[in-house]
Structure 1
Amino acid sequence: MRFMKKLMAVGFACLMSVSLAGCGGDEKTSEGVSGAFQVYTRDSSSGTREAFEKGVDFEGELTKKAHEVASNDDMAAKVGADLNGIGYTSLSTDFEKNGVKALKYEGVEASTETVLDGSYGLQRPFMFVTRAAGDFESEEKETLVAAFLDFMQNSKEGMAIVKKNGGEVDESKAVAWSELAPKYESVLNQDNSGITITTAGSTSVEKTLKASLEAFSPMAGNFKFVMNQSGSSDAYPRVLGSEKDGANRADIGFASRTFKDEEPVDGAMLSGQYCIDAVVAIVNKDNAIENLTQEQLKGIFTGATKNWEDLEK
């Protein structure tokens, strides 16, 4: 009788726990998740994808089972809804909102300090390029574009906004906007509400760019702006290349990578880098894993390593 009661108790306990870990099989690993990886990747035009694949060293070797997503926010949302998911995104992403967490890379956490000192290995520049001098719709717009970029990349006020929104900057090089503004006095003190500045390119820059434009417009005659970010590969064509005079024309293009040899920016009025960003591998917030190495990430994203429990602990 005692044996039967004990047997029934064991069976009941197993039945109650089966939905979480199974009974005698399919148990979660010590990292909190088991089964096949669900790999998420950005589209081929993405500077984030290029930076991640180059950094982890698997260009051209991505598993054919990867799920392609359209933006940083889309990536975070998909991984946040998938316990077995793994992807990558910009450090400026709102991780908590999307239910994901950023992993350490080779034991190093992405932060302002580790990005600026180079100890965090997966990083990339946020670059900009403009139309050619004299190729804007008006001299006023051309001056406003120059003033905005100066504000965003060189002023104390602008750099603080970029940093607050996830871009890493060296604030020791910043200059007060009051020292820079006199160069643009001819347009800053007039009504510019009839002027619209259009931006294009990388989706990764959206958070830093939008905050900067919103802050600068009231300081510069309340100009309007339209952000049309669709991927780094669209930056050059829309300001200097094949689309610069068409319906998709833009005034400033942004890339979350360096511009390529086939994207010559020497003809631009202005081009350069306004901050550094980190690319981070992300997983669902309920996944207990905290760190992955370059070798582990390469195995996951090429398909050589297939299941969470196959990761070397």
Structure 2
Amino acid sequence: MKLKKMMALVLCATTVAGLGLTGCGNSSDNSTAGDGTSAAKESGDAGKTDASDFSGNITVLSREDGSGTRGAFIELFGIEEKNEAGEKEDMTTVDATITNNTEVMMSTVAGNEYAIGYCSLGSLNDTVKAVKIDGAEATTENVSNGSYKVSRPFNIITKDTVSDVAQDFINYIMSADGQEVISNDGYISVAEGEAFTSTGASGKITIDGSSSVSPVMEKLVEAYKKVNPNAEIEQQTTDSTTGITSAIDGKCDIGMASRDLKEEETGVKATKIALDGIAVIVNNDNPTDEISSDMVKQIFTGEVTKWQDVK
């Protein structure tokens, strides 16, 4: 019996050590991140760990260059600053792990107890937890009433003149029917159009761009094709910058962007189709429920690197 107990204890210790290594987000000194909440669970504490007792190195997750979500995030939290030459510079820590779309961002945070990232509010699900920012919850209601200030536009990018079928689809998006699809999908409608009547135009529409806009665009495409089966629509998901560039170059009819156009992005126009919040997300086992906007900036610029220092 003693031998069996000893073997069981050794096996348990080996398993815990393995889980601690799996929780590491990158090759920096996150290998020490395992003595906070996990330790409380190992001791048999069934209660929720207090945020002040949660310790370990923070795994910062960000989006790729060209992402409209990243562009809006760094602007809204002051992570983008002007350098000595007066040019805007992204000050995101070099230790950040880069994810290339919304789904990868959420799944990575869901799999790492010490991770923090951000995603579209409309894409948020229960695999991760959105923290309050400056006391305000990340909800569509709070974005609408202005209490949750971390929000950005969803835009479609087009030339001044588009094909008849593309214009029919755009009319659908801005109609009462299209805006209802948007609001039902967890985003905030921006137009009060009338009920939609299709012209029945036929042809192909190509769409490309933001992975944040893409989910609601898929719903809009699906709904539109029911009222105009003559339309053939091909949608690709890349990022906001690619969507805008593709629209400028004529490679797509409609670009998707979760940011506004930059001064140098000319020859196209942006039409706002929805408003979306950006949720700051942590792992569901992270006891942190609220972070100030200034602390978010300090975390993402690398000034604060440990959860026990998050106030």
What band does the TM-score fall into relative to the shorter chain? 0.7 to 0.9
Q: How much does 1:221 deviate?
A: 2.5
- Quote how far apart the aligned CAs of 1:29 are: 6.1
2:292 matches 1:288: no
Tell me, yes or no, if structure 1 residue 120 matches structure 2 residue 148. Answer: yes
Residue 168 (structure 1) aligned with residue 188 (structure 2)? yes
1:248-259 paired onto structure 2 within 5 Å: 249-259=251-261
Contact 1:33 1:84 in 2 (8 A): no
SS at the partner of 1:87? strand
Q: How do residues 19-168 of structure 1 correspond to structure 2 at under 5 angstroms?
A: 20-21=39-40, 30-31=50-51, 33-59=54-80, 60-96=90-126, 99-133=127-161, 142-153=163-174, 155-168=175-188
State the 1:118 CA deviation. 2.0
Unaligned runs of 5+ in 2: 1-12, 17-34, 81-89
The aligned residue for residue 278 of structure 1 is 277
Superposed CA deviations along residues 3-25 of structure 1, whole A, max 9, x for unmatched, are xxxxxxxxxxxx9x9963378xx
Instruction: Provide, for residues 79-135 of structure 1, a one-character-per-residue CA deviation record: whole Å limited to 9, x for no partner.
Output: 000000000000011422xx20111111111222221222211100011122342xx
C-alpha displacement at 1:76, in angstroms? Answer: 0.3
2:190 touches 2:272 (CA, 8 Å); kept in 1?
no
Aligned-partner Cα distance in 2 for 1:175–1:132: 23
Equivalent of residue 231 in structure 1, options 239, 248, 253: 239
One-letter code aligned to 2:263: D
**Counterpart check, 1:199 vs 2:229:** no
Match of 2:216 among 205, 208, 217: 208
Verify the 8 A CA contact 2:260 2:270 in the aligned structure 1.
no
Structure 1 unaligned blocks of 5 or more: 1-14, 137-141
Q: Which moved more, 1:217-226 or 1:54-63?
A: 217-226
Paired residues of 2:247 and 2:253 also in contact (CA < 8 A): yes
Quick one: distance in 1 between partners of 2:230 and 2:168? 13
Work out the percentage of aligned pairs sharing the same amino acid. 30
The CA distance in 2 between the partners of 1:271 and 1:145, in whole Å, is: 15
Letter in 2 for 1:256: S
Contact 1:132–1:240 (CA<8 Å) still a contact in 2? no
Offset, 1:143 = 1.3
Compute the TM-score of the two structures, normalised by the length of structure 2.
0.78
Shift of 1:223: 2.1
Root-mean-square deviation (CA, aligned residues, Å) is 2.2
- Once residues 202 and 308 of structure 1 are traced to their aligned partners in structure 2, the CA distance between those partners, rounded to angstroms, is 31
Q: Which amino acid aligns with 1:30?
A: D
**Inter-partner Cα distance in structure 1 for 2:258 and 2:139:** 18
Instruction: Give the TM-score normalised by structure 1.
Output: 0.78
Query: How many residue pairs are counted as aligned between the two chains?
Result: 262
1:293-308 equivalences in 2 (<5 Å): 293-308=292-307
- Looking at both structures, which has the greater relative contact order when contacts are Cα pairs under 8 Å and sequence separation is at least 6? 1
Q: After superposition, what is the alpha-carbon deviation per residue over 1:273-305, rounded to whole angstroms, capped at 9, x for unaligned?
A: 001011110001111211111111011111111
SS of equivalent to 2:297: helix
One-letter amino acid of the counterpart of residue 282, structure 1: I
Measured in 2, the distance between the counterparts of 1:111 and 1:170 equals 16
Partner of 1:221: helix, strand, or coil?
A: coil
2:190 and 2:273 in contact (8 A); partners too: no
- Work out the CA distance in 2 between the residues paired with 1:119 and 1:103: 14
Contact 1:95 1:102 in 2 (8 A): no
